[in-house]
Amino acid sequence: MEIEKYVNQYFPVLDCGFIALKNYMGGDKDIAGAARGSYGVGTNTSSSDRGLIRRLMRDRHTSPFEMCEIVFHVGLPIFVARQWVRHRTASLNEYSGRYSIMPMIFYSPKPERCQTQHKTNKQGSSSQVLDEVQYSKLAESRSITRGRMEETYRDALDVDLARELARIDLPLSMYTYWYWKIDLHNLLHFLKLRLAPDAQWEIRQYANIIAGFVKEWVPYTYEAFMDYIVEGVSFSRYEQEILWNMINSRHADISSLTNNELETWNKKLEHMKRMSVCNYEYPHGLNLSEAKPASHYEELMQRYAIQ
């Protein structure tokens, strides 16, 4: 399988994060096989795996996709972990700050990512970035704050305060580490939500690489997922009414719409435009030359360990 060569390759994400494929089970053939199992032994094997998988995806016949599972090792800032962990249909095992001393590794967004608050989308960033002076001032202040937090952590450890309490003032920017196992159906749901342009940029960087893995692992499923789920569009009953009114009017003309209908329709078009311009694919596919061995990150954690 193509995916085999990616096992244990650590792909860098953000400044100090990573994602590595540790294990996987099943593939397109198993999904198609499980689906054919619905028809009974030895019957109806005439359709191609690709055609069958496309039909399953289109009709939301999801259980055959649960036959495949995948395990990742991920290094991610705690604020990203808090979004990630909301996906409850997975199993995870996290680095323990009660058991081990946390390495002092923090996420620092690059200047081009330091965008200002979006004016209308309260959960989003605008396309404008901080100017150089604002950025430098903030970076300096952040560095002082982190230095103080590290000092407090160190002081607590020095007086032998339990690790489970010593850690409580560490910031959301700190990196944490976990193993994450999920079946393919739920992974696709994760990707649908976290590849979308309204997901935070940082978690999207992880989702993009996971999408790269999925493309290599189950290429038919990936293709169908992009076509029917990610880039497919659903219409509410009201939106369908508007659409049919337009189709039935003489020139499929928006002038036939009431103000209310026009407003709804324009919102729909705006949404579709936003979703379609998003580049959902990991820009260059998975590039093995970008991957690092596990030892690279072990050394990084050693370097930033508190002695």
Ligand X SMILES: Cc1cc2nc3c(=O)[nH]c(=O)nc-3n(C[C@H](O)[C@H](O)[C@H](O)COP(=O)(O)OP(=O)(O)OC[C@H]3O[C@@H](n4cnc5c(N)ncnc54)[C@H](O)[C@@H]3O)c2cc1C
Q: Is 198 in the site for ligand X (CB under 6 A)?
A: yes
Contact residue for ligand X among 62, 125, 186, 256 (CB under 6 A): 186
Contact residue for ligand X among 78, 156, 157, 193 (CB under 6 A): 193
DSSP letter at 151 equals: H
Contact residue for ligand X among 44, 48, 89, 117 (CB under 6 A): 89
Minimum CB separation of residue 181 from ligand X in Å reads 13
Catalytic status, residue 194:
yes
Whether the Cβ atoms of residue 75 and residue 14 lie closer than 8 Å to each other: no
Minimum CB separation of residue 180 from ligand X in Å reads 12
User: Cβ closer to ligand X: 199 or 262?
Assistant: 199
| Piece in contact with ligand X (CB under 6 A), picked from 52-60, 82-90, 141-149, 248-256 | 82-90
141 residue type, one letter = S
Contact residue for ligand X among 22, 189, 268, 292 (CB under 6 A): 189
Whether the Cβ atoms of residue 147 and residue 139 lie closer than 8 Å to each other: no
User: Cβ closer to ligand X: 121 or 141?
Assistant: 121
For 180, list phi and psi in degrees, rounded to 5.
-135, 120
Q: Is 181 in the site for ligand X (CB under 6 A)?
A: no
What is d(CA 198, CA 274) in angstroms, rounded to the nearest whole number? 9
Q: Is 125 in the site for ligand X (CB under 6 A)?
A: no
Minimum CB separation of residue 199 from ligand X in Å reads 5
Q: Is 88 in the site for ligand X (CB under 6 A)?
A: yes
For 13, list phi and psi in degrees, rounded to 5.
-135, 140
Task: Please name the residue that has the structure tokens 């560490």.
Answer: 170
User: Cβ closer to ligand X: 120 or 289?
Assistant: 120
Q: What would the 3-class secondary structure string for 250-277 be?
A: CCCCHHHCCHHHHHHHHHHHHHHHHHHH
Contact residue for ligand X among 87, 146, 185, 292 (CB under 6 A): 87
What is d(CA 114, CA 134) in angstroms, rounded to the nearest whole number? 10
What's the number of CA atoms in the CB half-sphere (13 Å) around residue 172? 6
Q: Is 86 in the site for ligand X (CB under 6 A)?
A: yes
Residue number with the smallest Cβ distance to ligand X: 88
- Beta strand pairing status for 115-117 and 10-13? unpaired
Minimum CB separation of residue 198 from ligand X in Å reads 5
User: Cβ closer to ligand X: 158 or 198?
Assistant: 198
The answer for residues whose C-beta is within 8 angstroms of residue 240's C-beta and 6 or more apart is: none
Task: Please name the residue that has the structure tokens 């944490």.
Answer: 176
Minimum CB separation of residue 73 from ligand X in Å reads 20
User: Cβ closer to ligand X: 86 or 119?
Assistant: 86
Q: What is the DSSP string of 61-80?
A: --GGGGG-EEEEEEEEEHHH
Rg (CA), the chain: 24
Q: Pick the catalytic residue: 36, 54, 167, 194?
A: 194
User: Cβ closer to ligand X: 89 or 287?
Assistant: 89
Binding site for ligand X (CB under 6 A): 86-89, 186, 189, 193, 198-199
Residues annotated catalytic, as ranges? 194
